[in-house]
């Protein structure tokens, strides 16, 4: 898929820059041609010689280099590639992209390019969670910028959390998806996945047995067909999908907020097992036994209905797909849910314990559409995802 493709790789400043050397190697092994651009900050972490040697290409660094401008001007450089990749993408670089700055070679190339741009953020967890960064990410996503990562993990600064740059294999998969000529190229699909956790007190919560495995498989199948995927996940045990933008949430309200922020989208696939109820006032301290033998009194409120909200949204995706995990009368209950929620399709399955589906490797679904019920055979979750992704591609064609 990458043989003969041209990638312009901008390496920002940060300790994660060392991963970009491995990314260059993997890209070249896959047959891609890599033209490297190293920022002044990036050169503090990797050397120009190592970058150029691994790429087997001339390295570009200075906007006002007369030789470089004579050989290949920055305008031509910005448009000669099939894809522009920024890895690592620092908070500063992303802020420049949002602000339209063009005060060095990297930012000027990003302003001048007419090609798709994929960024792999890397920064301290507090910087990633800062409101300014969150606003910038939302703006870039709305502008059509592709994201891969960041991941949770240990930071060089000693802290732990989101902000760690995606691994080279993940970025490679995202590049392949971005360059795919699949039927969903140019489409943006929102996928929700996993359970939600609704807190009772600081150590207890309401949840369910969803592993998030089916949602991960769906996101990867859509990306393989060329879609730009925004993956909003609760605290799932399944690995996160590669080559997509992952947004981690905990509660139903957080999931709704993230889904709303991801719009507009061509399709929304609501595969998450969202808790129907939450405790109205979660305790600030751990609830303890008082010796009376009586359980604490918990007051519940209904959680926001994410599927119905997206189905009736002013920026409603063209295709909205919900999921129905049922333990009896699967087709009847799922058909009623489709009408009640206002979505286009419902993917229903029987999750009685004896089926082994909830948390298991396989699924057996019924696709409920306006045309009726289409029962699929028992398949692996990956096969189910590929089959659903193909149907989505047909619907959006």
> Which has the minimum average pLDDT: 148-152, 217-221, 244-248, 329-333?
148-152
Last residue of a domain, one of 179, 198, 214: 179
Angstrom distance (rounded) from CA 278 to CA 169: 38
284: how many CB neighbours lie within 10 A of its CB?
Answer: 7
Which single residue is written with the structure tokens 């979750």? 381
In the 8-state DSSP scheme, what is residue 226? T
Residue 276 known to bind ligand = yes
Q: What is the pLDDT of residue 162?
A: 80
pLDDT level of residue 223 (50, 70, 90 thresholds): confident
Q: Is 305 annotated among the ligand-binding residues? A: yes
- The domain in which residue 270 lies consists of 182-397
Please count the helices (runs of H) and the strands (runs of E) in the chain.
14, 21
- For β-strands 228-233 and 188-193, DSSP reports them as parallel
pLDDT tens-place string over residues 156-202: 777 777 888 888 988 898 888 788 778 898 899 999 999 999 999 99
* 307 in a known ligand binding site: yes
Q: Are 271 and 209 found together in one domain?
A: yes
Each residue of 38-82: pLDDT tens digit?
Answer: 999 999 999 999 999 999 988 998 877 666 665 556 677 888 888
- The larger pLDDT score, comparing residue 243 to residue 101, is at 101
CA dihedral 142, 144, 145, 149 (to 10 degrees): 70
- State which of 13-22, 76-85, 139-148, 348-357 shows the largest mean pLDDT: 13-22
Give the pLDDT score at 210. 86
**Residue 306 marked as a ligand binder:** yes
Q: Are 179 and 83 a contacting pair, CB within 8 Å?
A: yes
Given CA atoms 276, 279, 281, 282 in this order, what sign does their dihedral have? negative
Q: What is the pLDDT of residue 28?
A: 92
Q: Are both 32 and 175 inside the same structural domain? A: yes
User: Residue 367 pairs with which residues in a beta bridge?
Assistant: 347, 374
Q: Average pLDDT in the 24-28 region?
A: 93
pLDDT of res. 71 = 58
pLDDT at residue 352 in the model: 82
Annotated catalytic, 343? no
pLDDT at 215 > cutoff 90: yes
What is the arithmetic mean of pLDDT over 339-361? 84
Q: Is the pLDDT of residue 359 over 70?
A: no
Question: 304: annotated binding-site residue?
Answer: yes
Point out the domain boundary residue: 149, 179, 209: 179
Does 323 show up as a binding residue in the annotation? yes
Long-range (24+ apart) CB contacts under 8 A made by 276-280 are: 276/302, 276/303, 277/198, 277/206, 277/301, 277/302, 277/303, 278/198, 278/206, 278/251, 278/252, 278/253, 278/303, 279/198, 279/199, 279/200, 279/206
Pair 157, 193 in one domain: no
120 and 187 inside one domain: no
In three-state secondary structure terms, 397 is coil
Higher model confidence: residue 355 or residue 256? 256
With H, G, I as helix, E, B as strand and everything else as coil, classify residue 319: strand
Better-predicted residue by pLDDT, 320 or 58? 320
Q: What is the pTM of this model?
A: 0.63
Q: What is the pLDDT at residue 72? A: 59
> Based on the domain organization, do 158 and 214 belong to the same domain?
no
What was the pLDDT predicted at 69?
60
Instruction: Indicate the burial class of 225 (C-beta count within 10 angstroms; 0-12, 13-18, 19 or more).
Output: buried
pLDDT-derived band at 256 (thresholds 50, 70, 90) equals: very high
**Cα distances (angstroms) measured from residue 22 to each of 51, 168, 201, 246, 330:** 10, 6, 44, 22, 48
Q: Provide mean pLDDT across the span 319-341.
A: 93
Tell me: do 94 and 213 sit in the same domain.
Answer: no
Average pLDDT, the chain: 89
Residues 331 and 227 in one domain: yes
> Do 112 and 220 share a structural domain?
no
Q: How far apart are CA 194 and CA 376, in angstroms?
A: 22
pLDDT at 66 (0 to 100): 60
| Residues 60 and 134 both lie in one domain | yes
pLDDT average, residue stretch 315-344:
94
Residue 373's domain is classified under what CATH number?
3.40.50.10300
Domains of the chain: total: 2
Segment among 152-161, 241-250, 317-326, 367-376 with least mean pLDDT? 152-161
Predicted confidence at residue 361, as pLDDT, reads: 77
Could you tell me if 186 and 175 lie in one domain?
no
Interstrand relation of 362-363 and 365-369 (parallel, antiparallel or unpaired): unpaired
Same domain, 170 and 269: no
Catalytic option among 157, 203, 332, 339: 157
pLDDT of residue 234: 96
Percent share of the chain, pLDDT over 70: 96
Q: How far is CA 227 from CA 83, 190, 320, 396, in A?
A: 15, 10, 15, 11
| pLDDT value at residue 74 | 65
Is 45 assigned a ligand-binding role in the annotation?
no
- Specify the CATH number for the domain of residue 94: 3.40.50.1950
- 61 vs 67, 70, 77, 78, 233, CA distance in Å? 12, 14, 12, 13, 38
Q: Which of 50-59, 143-152, 283-292 has the lowest mean pLDDT?
A: 143-152
Last residue of a domain, one of 179, 214, 242: 179
CA angle 59, 62, 63 (to 5 degrees): 120
In this predicted structure, the answer to whether residue 354 has a pLDDT above a threshold of 80 is no
Domain identity same for 202 and 256: yes
């Amino acid at each position: 898929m990458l043989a003969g493709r041209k990638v312009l790789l901008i390496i920002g400043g940060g300790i994660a820059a060392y991963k970009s050397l491995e990314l260059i190697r993997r890209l070249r092994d896959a047959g891609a041609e890599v033209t490297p651009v190293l920022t002044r900050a990036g050169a503090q972490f990797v050397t120009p010689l190592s970058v150029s040697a691994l790429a087997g290409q001339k390295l570009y660094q200075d906007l006002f280099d007369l030789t470089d401008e004579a050989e290949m001007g920055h305008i031509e450089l910005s448009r000669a590639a099939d894809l522009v990749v920024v890895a690592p993408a620092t908070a500063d670089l992303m802020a420049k992209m949002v602000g339209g700055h063009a005060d060095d070679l990297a930012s000027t190339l990003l302003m001048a390019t007419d090609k798709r741009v994929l960024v792999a953020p890397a920064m301290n967890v507090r910087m990633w969670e800062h409101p300014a960064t969150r606003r910038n990410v939302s703006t870039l996503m709305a502008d059509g910028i592709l994201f891969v990562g960041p991941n949770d993990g240990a930071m060089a600064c000693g802290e732990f959390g989101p902000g760690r740059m995606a691994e080279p294999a993940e970025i490679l998969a995202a590049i392949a998806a971005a360059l795919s000529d699949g039927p969903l190229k140019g489409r943006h699909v929102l996928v929700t996945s996993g359970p939600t956790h609704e807190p009772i007190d600081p150590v207890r919560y309401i949840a369910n047995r969803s592993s998030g495995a089916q949602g991960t498989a769906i996101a990867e199948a859509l990306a393989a067909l060329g879609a730009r995927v925004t993956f909003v996940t609760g605290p799932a045990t399944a690995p996160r999908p590669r080559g997509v933008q992952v947004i981690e949430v905990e509660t139903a309200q957080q999931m709704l907020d993230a889904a709303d922020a991801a719009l507009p989208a061509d399709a929304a696939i609501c595969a998450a097992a969202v808790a129907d109820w939450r405790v109205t006032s979660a305790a600030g301290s751990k609830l303890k036994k008082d010796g009376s033998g009586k359980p604490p009194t918990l007051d519940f409120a209904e959680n926001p209905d994410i599927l119905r909200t997206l189905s009736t949204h002013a920026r409603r995706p063209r295709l909205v797909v919900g999921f129905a995990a049922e333990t009896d009368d699967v087709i009847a209950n799922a058909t009623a849910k489709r009408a009640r929620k206002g979505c286009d399709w419902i993917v229903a399955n029987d999750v009685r314990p004896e089926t082994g589906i909830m948390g298991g490797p396989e699924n057996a679904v019924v696709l409920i559409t306006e045309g009726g019920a289409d029962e699929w055979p028992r398949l692996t979750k990956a096969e189910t995802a590929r089959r659903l992704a193909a149907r989505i591609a047909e619907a959006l064609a």
